Chain A
Amino acid sequence: MYPAPFRYHRAGSVAEAIRMLGDIGEGARALAGGQSLLVLLKVRFDEPTDLVDLARIPDLDTIDQGNGEIRIGALTTHASIARSELSTAIPIVGDCANGIADNQVRSRGTIGGNVCSGDPSCDWPTLLATLDAQVHCEGPDGKRAVPVTEFVEDLYATVLGQGEIVTGISFPTPAVGSAGAYVGFKRCAPAYPTSSVGLQLALNGDDCEDVRIALGSSGLTSIHATDAEAELRGKTLTDDVIAKAAEAAAAQAEPIEDQRGSEDFKRSLIDTLVKRGVGVARRRCAGETVEVSHEYY
Chain B
Amino acid sequence: MSTTEVVAHEVDKIPVEITVNGTVYRREVEPRLLLVQFIREDLRLTGTHIGCDTTYCGACTILLDGEPVKSCTMLAVQADGSDVQTVESLEKDGELHPLQTAFSENHGLQCGYCTPGMLMSSVALLAKNPNPSDKDIRKGIQGNLCRCTGYHNIFKSIEAAAAAMREE
**Which residues from chain A sit less than 8 Å from chain B, CB to CB?**
1-8, 10, 31, 34-35, 38-39, 41-43, 49, 51, 53, 55, 79, 101-105, 107-108, 188-191
Contact = CB atoms under 8 A, between A and B. Distances in A.
Interface string B8-35: 1101101000000000000000111010
Contact of B58 (A6, A34, A102): A102
A108 B32 contact: no
Contacts, number: 93
B32 A104 contact: no
Interface in B45-92: 53-58, 61, 64, 67-70, 73-75, 77-78
Nearest to A48: B9
A102 B32 contact: no
B67 A79 contact: yes
B140 interface: yes
Nearest to A77: B67
Contacts of B145: 188, 190
Contacts of B143: 101-105, 189-190
B160 interface: no
A38 B31 contact: no
17 contacts: A5-B9, A5-B31, A6-B9, A7-B12, A10-B77, A42-B53, A42-B54, A42-B73, A51-B31, A55-B78, A102-B58, A102-B142, A102-B143, A104-B68, A105-B73, A108-B74, A190-B58
B121 interface: yes
Given A5-B9, A42-B54, A105-B70, A34 B75 contact: yes
Contacts of A31: 78
B30 A5 contact: yes
B142 A107 contact: no
A39 B31 contact: no
Contact of B53 (A1, A41, A105, A107): A1
B11 to A, nearest CB: 5
A107 B68 contact: yes
Contacts of B57: 190
A41 B11 CA distance: 16
